[in-house]
Structure 1
């Protein structure tokens, strides 16, 4: 009898790398890049240095929201940096991090090695998306922390003048500044998701890296145009400016909530599109460098359809129409801000205190010397403010020239009488400052009604 021995060959089963291990690997890859390290270092140090430098200057960035109060309180510097970051820094961060996280593998030709190691396109996408999100969050935390500490250490924890002239205690200012920085996370996530989509769809093309910045610039240009309020609020970057409404009483939260919701919808939609394009990609082609047709059909067209849908929804539920800026809203905003700032001026000049109700401030505003309809943005608004003081027979009168922006923010420039809204220094706890009624910033609620 012959015994036959059969040798059985056991093929080891390839196991997929867990998402957690892939995430750590992708995070280490990102943090090992010199440009990412330099970006993190700049975001954690530059805001504090900038605020400390500007706060020591005699000339302040008064054309920037809250810039005129940087000598008064440290919280103003954090808000000035927030405005700058929403315009330039955060779009650049999303381009450098999210816009390159997939394209870098195409340029280096390392997809085959990564697929062999991980064995799952889905887990690769999740790991890369989470790693880029972690770096972006670390950047935002650094910007916020550095700007707040820089302002508080340089100027101090003092009350902040709100966007309608009312005075916020340091505690209230701290809470609202924190909420404002949290609010800009939503449009930052939307830009990051657009960066992921561009990085996946365009491959190693430089356009994928530049896409978030290009989209942010396009949205900034759109905000300068006289667009209907429904279109303005439907842009995913509107929350970069809508945080202004946190600093009024009552808060103008409608535009902010709409902007945050739209940004989150865009973030989810763009990330889902990037995922679909990535898992359907043919990785066997070594010369793959993105596809123009895929970028249009899987990226641009769905997002354009999403923009149309959000415009339709916002227009249907919005209580405002047109530009959202009309005569009654401007008059009400000017009256409220003047009343608050008049009380602040009276306190600084050691005059008897008076309430807004006793002042009974009213405003009469027109546009273009009354030759055109008093609505919409423009630098040709003119307002005559009147008020009454107790036990004074004559009423006070002051004139302001207004520059109203399309997003509702306006700057009022005093045009007499000089003893009321002229330029002269007043004594404050931090030194001599310009008369608070000389120039001030305020905001028109785009979604508010003109009743009441």
Structure 2
């Protein structure tokens, strides 16, 4: 007992252990666990195998953003992996790494030995935090690199169609894909900080390990609801979706920057709370088993206040109101995507090329008939796209059924005429090819606000 008290409050002149050996020791401890080694192997191998196999199938994951392009370009597979990782993999990985880094010492009863060896609770916290961060970065790098490699080997380095229909050259696609993976590191750090907080506050209790996963699940349910824009963007999970704005022109930078700032604030706040709780802990209590009240008062309550403050700031600083899904914005987005993809179809059919300006595509959208307000998410949007070819007197029209989700993503499903968008393949001089106008994804910028026409 005396040795434990002395370690927790070192005598004057007792120098703490150097930081670098402490960090190296914690990193080796993490990497020596079979669970961490298994995760590293899975992250560096499984995405490549998944992308390579699925890209060769006739049935693609069209319910996932960029899933319908997996057999057209190698860059789409990495984005499918990114979408899955943001939904499930990254929160779970942070839980298994950061959510257990302090709790493991409680289960093994090794706090006394660690404190005697290091002689500084501050350096212990910093070393464990940096070791966890290093392992998480290795896991994310594996997911990104493996997914990209699998796609390029299986399909090739080909252009990628963005969420506005614009075709990205292979070099531009590579840059944007890597930037998207870099952006999701920030919300990953926010969930890792929540894992540190749970691991410190709940000790050996398994609830500390589950905190990032439970938080991610709760936020996913919240993102499905038609929340006001300010509330949606105040959640730390918003940046897991905002990377989609990188694949439009112009880039939807507002939601992405807000998402990154909110996630960074969560990462700093949760880490600071975990640090404060760790330094105030009584290491002489060998039966410490965490405290639910401690989590509520010192963890959940401050983070809830942070959300409320963020909502207030965003509500006053952003022009968007309501769900952010408006008729005018949806029409503009659909017309822009249609014009770009029409040119892609024209090249596939080897027809004379036209520009977007020559097409002059416009869209008229209605939600659920005349008795329903034309705004908000839903699968009852019906749109008619009109365009005009140079030298032709008739105006072309195409019908689309839109399924718009609460986060601004929509799927446009072609409903005729058949020769334009009513079938999933078009007959080209070199054989059948996917019809880019049959179904495509789009993304509405929830933050902007446009006057009604």
TM-score interval, smaller chain: over 0.9
- For the 8 Å contact 1:159–1:170, the answer to whether it is kept is yes
Q: Is the 8 A contact 2:325 2:446 kept in 1?
A: yes
**What's the CA shift for 1:14?**
3.5
Q: Which residue of 2 aligns with 1:14?
A: 14
Give CA-to-partner distance per residue, 1:14-37, whole Å, 9 cap, x none.
Answer: 331111111100000000000000
Name the SS of the counterpart of 1:341 in structure 2. helix
Deviations 1:162-216 (A, max 9, x none): 1010100001000100110000001000000000000000111111000000001
Distance in 2 of aligned mates of 1:371 and 1:324? 20
Aligned equivalents of 1:357 and 1:279: distance in 2? 63
The CA distance in 2 between the partners of 1:141 and 1:235, in whole Å, is 25
Residue 438 of structure 2 corresponds to: 438
Shift of residue 112, structure 1, vs aligned partner? 0.8
Q: How many residues align?
A: 442
Query: What is aligned with 2:33?
Result: 33
Over 3 Å counting, the alpha-carbon distance change for 1:189 and 1:428 in structure 2 is: farther
Q: 1:404 to 1:194 in 2, by over 3 A?
A: same
CA distance in 1, matches of 2:228, 2:214: 22
Name the TM-score, length of structure 1 as normaliser. 0.96
Deviations 1:98-140 (A, max 9, x none): 0000001111111111111111111100000000000000111
Output one character per residue of 1:305-356: Cα deviation in whole Å (capped at 9) or x when no partner. Answer: 0010111111111121110011101111110011111111111011111111
Correspondences of 1:123-138 after superposition (within 5 Å) = 123-138=123-138
Map residues 17-416 of structure 1 onto 2, 5 A cutoff.
Answer: 17-416=17-416
* Secondary structure in 2 matching 1:14: coil
Cα distance in 1, alignment partners of residues 406 and 241 from structure 2: 11
Q: Is the CA contact 2:349–2:429 (under 8 Å) kept in the aligned structure 1? A: no
Residue 8 of structure 1 aligns with which residue?
A: none
Gaps of 5+ in 1: 1-10
Q: Which residue of 1 aligns with 2:7?
A: none
Kindly indicate whether the alpha-carbon contact (under 8 Å) linking 2:60 and 2:68 is maintained by their aligned counterparts in 1. yes
The answer (yes or no) to whether the contact 1:144–1:181 under 8 Å persists in 2 is: yes
Q: Is the 8 A contact 1:71 1:430 kept in 2?
A: no
Structure 1: distance between partners of 2:332 and 2:127: 51
Partners of 1:363 and 1:13 lie apart in 2 by 75
By how many angstroms is 1:424 displaced? 4.3
Deviation at residue 425 of structure 1 after TM alignment: 2.0
- On the 8 A contact 1:72/1:430 being kept in 2, the answer is no
Distance of 1:181 and 1:432 partners within structure 2:
33
Query: Which residue of structure 2 lines up, in the alignment, with residue 4 of structure 1?
Result: none
Q: Secondary structure at the match of 2:354?
A: coil
Q: Which residue of 2 aligns with 1:6?
A: none
CA distance in 1, matches of 2:215, 2:428: 43
User: Relative to structure 1, is the Cα distance of residues 196 and 429 closer, same or farther in structure 2, using a 3 angstrom cutoff?
Assistant: farther
Going from structure 1 to structure 2, the CA distance change for 1:82 and 1:429 (only over 3 Å counts) comes to farther
Q: 1:207 to 1:444 in 2, by over 3 A?
A: same
Q: Matched residues in 2 for 1:424 and 1:221: separation?
A: 32
TM-score, structure 2 normalization:
0.95
Quote the Cα distance in structure 2 between the aligned partners of 1:432 and 1:136.
44
Q: CA deviation at 1:427?
A: 5.8
Residue by residue, what CA displacement relative to the aligned partner does 1:205-254 show, whole Å, maximum 9, x if unpaired? Answer: 11100000000111111110000011111101111111000001111111
1:274 alignment partner, SS class: helix
Post-superposition shift, 1:43?
0.3
Q: Deviations over 1:354-397 (max 9, x none)?
A: 11111111111010122200000000000011111111111001
Please give the alpha-carbon distance, in whole angstroms, between the structure 1 residues aligned to 2:272 and 2:330. 42
Secondary structure (helix, strand or coil) at the match of 2:412 reads strand
CA distance in 2, matches of 1:419, 1:448: 35
The 1:202–1:429 alpha-carbon spacing in structure 2 relative to 1, beyond 3 Å, is farther
Q: CA deviation at 1:442?
A: 0.5
